[in-house]
Structures are given as C-alpha cells and as structure tokens.
Amino acid sequence: MTSRFPTLTLLDHPLIQHKLSLMRDRTTRPVLFRQLLREIGILMGYELTRDLTLKTRPIETPMTTMDAPFLAGPVTLVSILRAGLGMTEGLRELMPDAKEGHIGLFRDPETHQPREYFVKLPADPGRVLLVDPMLATGGSAVHAVEVLLDRGIAARDIRFLCLIAAPEGVERFAAACPDVPILAAALDSHLDENAYIIPGLGDAGDRLYGTEHGKTATA
Ligand SMILES: O=P(O)(O)OC[C@H]1O[C@H](OP(=O)(O)OP(=O)(O)O)[C@H](O)[C@@H]1O
Ligand SMILES: O=c1cc[nH]c(=O)[nH]1
Ligand SMILES: [Mg+2]
C-alpha cells in the first residue's frame, strides 16, 4: 500500500497487523515479542524481496531439462543492533544463503543522536536489506545508510525495512536518502518529548531482550 510519503510503502497484510498489535500490547513478554517479530520478518520479507532479480540456469527435473530461475546475485541482511537482530531472524529463514552485516548503534538518551559502536559488513554485498524495527527521529537509519554508502554500496541497492515508522523519521530519512525505499508495517502518529514513537511499542531492544528501559548493566 502506498502512503502519503512517496518513498514509504506500508505492508498492511492482516496477519502483519494482527501480530504487530500483539507486539504493541505492554503485557506481551519477551519470548512472545521475539517470536512475533521473527514471524513479521518472514511476512514482510516476502514483499521486501519482490524485486530481486532472477537468472535462469539449466537443471534436470525427474521429467526433462529446463532453464530454471534462481536468485541472480548476493543478498545481504544488515541488522542495526540490537533490535534489528530480532527482525532479521525471520528474513534469514527466507534467505538462508544471505550474507549478513551488523551496524551497532544506540541512541543517546539526552541528545537522541545515534552513537556507533560496531560495524562489520561483508564484501560484495549485492542487494542490501537494512533492518531496524523502529524509525523514530530517523537518526539511526540515516546514519546506517551513510555507513553503507561510505563502503561504496549504491543507494539503489539498499532497502530499509522497519516495523513502525514515525512521520518525523520518514521525512528525515526521505530527505537524506531519497533513493532508498522504506517498507514499514505501520505509520504511527508522532514522537513524544523523549523521541519515542506514539502509540508505538516502547523500546524495541529492551522488550526483545528484557533489559530495563534506559539502563545499562555495569560490570
Ligand atoms: O530513529 P531513531 O530516533 O534513531 O530511533 C530508532 C533507534 O532506536 C532504537 O535503538 P536503541 O538506540 O534503543 O538501541 P537498541 O536497539 O540497542 O535498544 C531502534 O531500534 C532504532 O535503532
Ligand atoms: O519508540 C521508540 C523510539 C526509539 N527506539 C525504540 O525502540 N522505540
Ligand atoms: Mg533500544
């Protein structure tokens, strides 16, 4: 489904919407939250991969020979840590041969700016599916795309997959990365004063891993 933003496509399949509502519910515990995010990753991945290119090669079926279509080039799943990992699980089930990359970012609680702590990307990534469930201010997603562009990956080869997008984040992302399509399950209302998405689902990373919101363990 198209949206009021030209680069944003909303995937409004009833199963995706149902599972997202379960995820939003504050009483949903991490084990179910993780399972739902993985399942939504599979359902959204089906649409996300619709424009992958195919190349035929000859095979023999039990009956005859044929030129059969196979995926043409490499696909790389890039998770923005931590929360992206949960969504990538579903995509990995769809594409077990995909390469994987990781971009570690956390949002500074005061400034809301992304802080980078880890980057590992494969060579020759082909089509890059950048994954993070939450697009709030857009700072993290824009930073991650900049990391990919700095490594020589073309914007036309990148797709950004998220679960919930805020209008503020879509606007910022579209302005900074006009050639990178965004696929989301929902476009929510707005950000609150702490730059959290309303109605949203809270802090995706904390809900996935059962960490306490805003606190980091010390040694
Ligand atoms: O659009 P933004 O305003 O940049 O916010 C979105 C980012 O915030 C969350 O990560 P967080 O910083 O909480 O890290 P975590 O995944 O480790 O919890 C989320 O997973 C995004 O990466
Ligand atoms: O609502 C939000 C905003 C940023 N990060 C999250 O996990 N949730
Ligand atoms: Mg978090």
Residue 44 among known ligand-binding residues: no
pLDDT at 2: 85
Closest ligand 1 atom number to CA of residue 209: 18
- 125 CA → ligand 3 middle, Å: 27
pLDDT at 3: 85
Whether 216 shows a pLDDT value over 80: the answer reads no
- 199 CA → ligand 2 middle, Å: 11
**Smallest CA separation from ligand 1 atom 21, residue:** 134
pLDDT at 213: 65
Handedness of CA 207, 212, 215, 218 (dihedral sign): negative
Q: How far apart, in Å, are the Cα atoms of 64 and each of 28, 54, 55, 68, 145?
A: 51, 21, 19, 12, 45
Place of tokens 């805020």: 166
pLDDT tens-place string over residues 96-149? 999 999 999 999 999 999 999 999 999 999 999 999 999 999 999 999 999 999
- 34 CA → ligand 3 middle, Å: 14
Closest ligand 1 atom number to CA of residue 140: 4
Whether 219 shows a pLDDT value over 50: the answer reads no
Distance CA 101, CA 173 (A): 21
Q: Where are the domains of the chain?
A: 8-52+72-209
**The domain made up of 8-52+72-209 is a member of CATH 3.40.50.2020:** yes
